[in-house]
Amino acid sequence: MSANATSTPEVSREEARDLLVDLVSIPSPSGDEAEAAERLVDFVRAHGREAWLDEVGNVRAPADDAVLLTSHVDTVPGEIPVAVEPADADDPVAAEGADVLRGRGSVDATGPLAAMAAAAVNAGVSFVGVVGEETDSRGARHLVADRDPPEAVVNGEPSGADGITLGYRGFLAGTYVATSESGHTSRPDPNAVQHAIRWWSRVEKAFEDGVVPEERRDGDGDAGEAPVFEQVTAKPVAVDGGVSDDGLSVEATMDVQLRVPPALDVETVRETTEAHLDVGTVSWADPIPPVMQSPRTDLARAFRVAIRAEDGEPRLLRKTGTSDMNLYADAWDCPMVTYGPGDSDLDHAPDERLPLAEFDRSVAVLERVARTLRDDAA
């Protein structure tokens, strides 16, 4: 337990909502999180807690390390007019007439971030708002290198007020580069652009059956209807190529991304892609390993109890994307889950919006979980 844990003034529902609206109203795309981070620091200090910005811009508010509540401050770019409006009759995320907050980040992940800040203050546990999650996760990478592991981690991403996310696929990104001599297009020899296309076609073919446990395969040994979570998803995300400026060569560059299920490790996926390489080279960014947590930990159990206490029915989730929880799980040997208000189908969407009643309930769930873990550790 940190010496910074103190008895603090309670955060009211109205104060928590005000924090949420303020943070959504402050543009905070990756690399431009400073103003939103300062608002969080002011909020925590106003309730009697120590808080500061660290070397990379993370909001640090240490307290009882029975659990660390952490979410990301940054959002993806995109301006959405901020407003609290009643939900339409056909809105699938809220009952007709219920207050809904519209704005970039309301779901991913300013809603979870604000909920965690309020719950951490009320429960007296540690809180961190990290930067750069939407790009290079520099905030999370700095955090795991800069502090000791807490006893448990709750990572903030939208799961819905009743959802508990236990697993994410890993992430591997690379850049393929090839060069060939220029020549007349009537020649049969493949050029660099063709080499790039053919390499990636072979990579996609290698993974097209997915990663499926034996009992899920059909009689022919094929993957069949494998859940996406259990597959490697291979995507080219940018391609550039053509004759060089001096006219002497053909060049091709392809940026690629692969999502890695927990059944595989990142190195195996990287070796598979390189095994199909006959021309050109691939440079890889730092990988993010997959994660799958047990539903039987004290942390997961505390969430199930808290969700039911707030009139919800717990749902255990696995996400096909990647989050900072992957990095925490790789660095820290402690129980963790991801949780937060919001419909993840609205991540990065032009109609991103969050029902305020769901936000309120998630604050209550987080506070119950934090108090339970804090009291059990005392």
**Burial of residue 63 (number of CB atoms within 10 Å: 0-12, 13-18, 19+):** buried
Question: Are 32 and 126 found together in one domain?
Answer: yes
Cis ω for the linkage preceding 46 (within 30 of 0):
no
For residue 192, what pLDDT is reported?
Answer: 94
Active site residue 133: yes
Asked if residue 270 is part of any domain, the answer here is: yes
Q: Which of 307, 44, 265 is nearest to 154 (CA)?
A: 307
Tokens of 98: 């219920």
- Catalytic one among 33, 64, 65, 133? 133
- Which of these three, 265, 284, 303, is where a domain ends? 284
- Which of these three, 260, 284, 308, is where a domain ends? 284
Asked if residue 8 is part of any domain, the answer here is: no
Question: Are 203 and 295 found together in one domain?
Answer: no
For residue 221, what pLDDT is reported?
Answer: 43
Question: Are 195 and 228 found together in one domain?
Answer: yes
Question: Are 159 and 18 found together in one domain?
Answer: yes
Asked if residue 89 is part of any domain, the answer here is: yes
- Which of these three, 284, 309, 325, is where a domain ends? 284
Q: From residue 112, how far is each of 116, 247, 359 by CA, in Å?
A: 6, 53, 8
- CATH code for position 267: 3.30.70.360
Question: Are 335 and 301 found together in one domain?
Answer: yes
- Over residues 206-212, the mean pLDDT reads 68
For residue 216, what pLDDT is reported?
Answer: 43
Quote the number of domains for the chain: 2
Asked if residue 154 is part of any domain, the answer here is: yes
Asked if residue 7 is part of any domain, the answer here is: no
Question: Are 180 and 267 found together in one domain?
Answer: yes
**Maximum pairwise Cα distance, the chain:** 78
Measured CA to CA, the distance from residue 34 to residue 93 in angstroms comes to 31
Asked if residue 221 is part of any domain, the answer here is: yes
- Catalytic one among 33, 64, 65, 74? 74
What are the φ and ψ backbone dihedral angles of 252, each rounded to 5 degrees?
-140, 135
Model confidence, pTM? 0.89
Asked if residue 158 is part of any domain, the answer here is: yes
Per-residue pLDDT reduced to its tens digit, 276-293: 999 999 999 999 999 999
Whether pLDDT at 184 is above 70 = no
Q: What band does 185 get if pLDDT is binned at 50, 70 and 90?
A: low
Whether pLDDT at 137 is above 60 = yes
Per-residue pLDDT reduced to its tens digit, 117-135: 999 999 999 999 999 999 9
Query: 3-state DSSP call for residue 146?
Result: helix
Whether pLDDT at 1 is above 60 = no
Domain coverage including residue 114: 13-168+291-377
Question: Are 43 and 126 found together in one domain?
Answer: yes
Active site residue 278: no
Question: Are 160 and 30 found together in one domain?
Answer: yes
Question: Are 128 and 230 found together in one domain?
Answer: no
Asked if residue 2 is part of any domain, the answer here is: no
Question: Are 37 and 118 found together in one domain?
Answer: yes
- CATH code for position 309: 3.40.630.10
Round the average pLDDT of the chain to a whole number and report it: 92
Whether pLDDT at 7 is above 50 = no
Whether pLDDT at 5 is above 50 = no
For residue 181, what pLDDT is reported?
Answer: 84
Measured CA to CA, the distance from residue 330 to residue 290 in angstroms comes to 9
Question: Are 111 and 227 found together in one domain?
Answer: no
Per-residue pLDDT reduced to its tens digit, 9-58: 799 999 999 999 999 999 999 999 999 999 999 999 999 999 999 999 99
Question: Are 114 and 193 found together in one domain?
Answer: no
